[in-house]
Chain A
């Protein structure tokens, strides 16, 4: 099955700085890579996703890049704000299971 590794496990930035979270995946057949945000005590919610036929996707302050050759993808958050503080999970489609495999999460703390 698919294996997804996520780094770093914790990240602290100053308000206004950029934050980058990186993930690698093992299954070259994976074709869907979503990112979820989970605020404390809440459910995970999708913030952005990318498919394997696209190299980069942006939505306001967040962007995701995908390098299929190297099998890694990254989340970029610019001009961070305190409300960006949360746990972020990357995931990759597991074509064998027809499900998603999640990374272990990154706790982002934005210091005001």
Chain B
């Protein structure tokens, strides 16, 4: 089992460009999550999908959109990147909201 995988590992964007971060899990988990991690700020929830076919806003959703493509895949889209979106992005999955979350390796995004 690969667990949770994310692509790309690194990305540099110019302000205003768009991109999609991909996430996939092979653990048959119901719930998937996108976090951003900034120094001193911990892990902040951007969007989550409690089950296939549903998505909900987290703590910091502005500037992002998500798609739960199927049970395995959950993508995060930046429509018009801003320097404030420079961060490390982690995808995670779990069986449910109060169960262990398994994290992907992260994507380091720089917006210039």
Task: Tell whether A1 is near chain B: CB-to-CB under 8 Å.
Answer: yes
Q: Which residues of A contact B96 (CB under 8 A)?
A: 98
Smallest Cβ distance from A9 to chain B, in angstroms? 7
Smallest Cβ distance from A42 to chain B, in angstroms? 8
Binds A, one of B12-20, B62-70, B77-85, B101-109: B101-109
Task: State the main secondary structure of chain B at its contact with A.
Answer: loop
Cβ-closest chain B residue relative to A94: B97
Task: Tell whether B74 is near chain A: CB-to-CB under 8 Å.
Answer: no
Report the bound CA distance from A93 to B33 in whole Å. 14
Q: Which residues of B contact A93 (CB under 8 A)?
A: 97-98
B97, A45: Cβ atoms under 8 Å?
Answer: no
Report the bound CA distance from A2 to B103 in whole Å. 21
B58, A97: Cβ atoms under 8 Å?
Answer: yes
List which A3-53 residues lie within 8 A (CB) of chain B: 6, 9, 31-32, 34, 42-46, 49
A98, B100: Cβ atoms under 8 Å?
Answer: no
Report the bound CA distance from A18 to B100 in whole Å. 26
A9, B104: Cβ atoms under 8 Å?
Answer: no
Residues of B in contact (CB 8 Å), total: 25
A100, B40: Cβ atoms under 8 Å?
Answer: no
Cβ-closest chain B residue relative to A45: B103
Report the bound CA distance from A8 to B53 in whole Å. 39
Cβ-closest chain A residue relative to B41: A104
Q: Which residues of A contact B58 (CB under 8 A)?
A: 97, 99
Q: Which residues of A contact B90 (CB under 8 A)?
A: 43-44
Cβ-closest chain B residue relative to A1: B59
Q: Which residues of B contact A42 (CB under 8 A)?
A: 105
A44, B43: Cβ atoms under 8 Å?
Answer: yes
Q: Which residues of A contact B33 (CB under 8 A)?
A: 99
A43 and B105 contact, Cβ closer than 8 Å, known pairs A89-B42, A97-B58, A99-B33: yes
Q: Which residues of B contact A34 (CB under 8 A)?
A: 100-101
B48, A43: Cβ atoms under 8 Å?
Answer: no
Smallest Cβ distance from B53 to chain A, in angstroms? 14
**A contacts, CB < 8 Å to B:** 1, 6, 9, 31-32, 34, 42-46, 49, 89, 93-95, 97-105
